[in-house]
């Protein structure tokens, strides 16, 4: 059983949470939620392809897609920016002192959301094509 749309629905819900977190000044959570949204969007695409996706790095997952589904280098590089939010946005011991909330800004969160939106759109477009062809 493919769970493509379950993954995609959760990706969109995580993206919505990322946007709401900006309004609450929870920029670290916004960045983490944006990373999670993009990761789940890519995993939805893997589901549509009937392939297994292992790991949490959005950029590496994108690179592991079959050749005709790999995005351009620009999107992969933007995904690397999201990858950098996976741990530091949650754990104080990643930083020399202070908590993650001390290190994240509104600009960080807005940029992370923008990138996650692009990645989810990319994946959603690919999923539509796959479903049309099958």
pLDDT digit string (tens) for 40-86? 999 999 999 999 999 999 999 999 999 999 999 999 999 999 999 99
Domain chopping of the chain, boundaries: 4-133
pLDDT digit string (tens) for 22-48? 999 999 999 999 999 999 999 999 999
How far apart CA 31 and CA 76 sit, in angstroms, is 17
Q: Phi-psi bin for 40: left (phi > 0), alpha (psi -120 to 50), beta?
A: alpha
Confidence of residue 134 (pLDDT cuts 50, 70, 90): confident
Q: What is the CATH number of domain 4-133?
A: 1.20.120.330
* The overall pTM is greater than 0.85: yes
């Amino acid at each position: 059983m493919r769970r493509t749309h379950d993954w995609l629905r959760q990706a969109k819900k995580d993206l919505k949470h990322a946007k709401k977190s900006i309004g609450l000044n929870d920029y670290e959570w916004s960045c983490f939620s944006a990373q999670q949204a993009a990761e789940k969007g890519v995993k939805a695409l893997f589901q549509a392809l009937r392939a297994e996706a292992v790991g949490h790095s959005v950029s590496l997952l994108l690179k592991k897609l079959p050749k005709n589904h790999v995005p351009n280098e620009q999107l992969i590089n933007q995904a690397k920016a999201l990858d950098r939010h996976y741990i530091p946005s949650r754990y104080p011991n990643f930083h020399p002192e202070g908590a993650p909330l001390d290190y994240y800004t509104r600009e960080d969160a807005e940029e992370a959301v923008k990138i996650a939106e692009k990645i989810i759109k990319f994946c959603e477009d690919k999923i539509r094509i796959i479903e049309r062809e099958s």
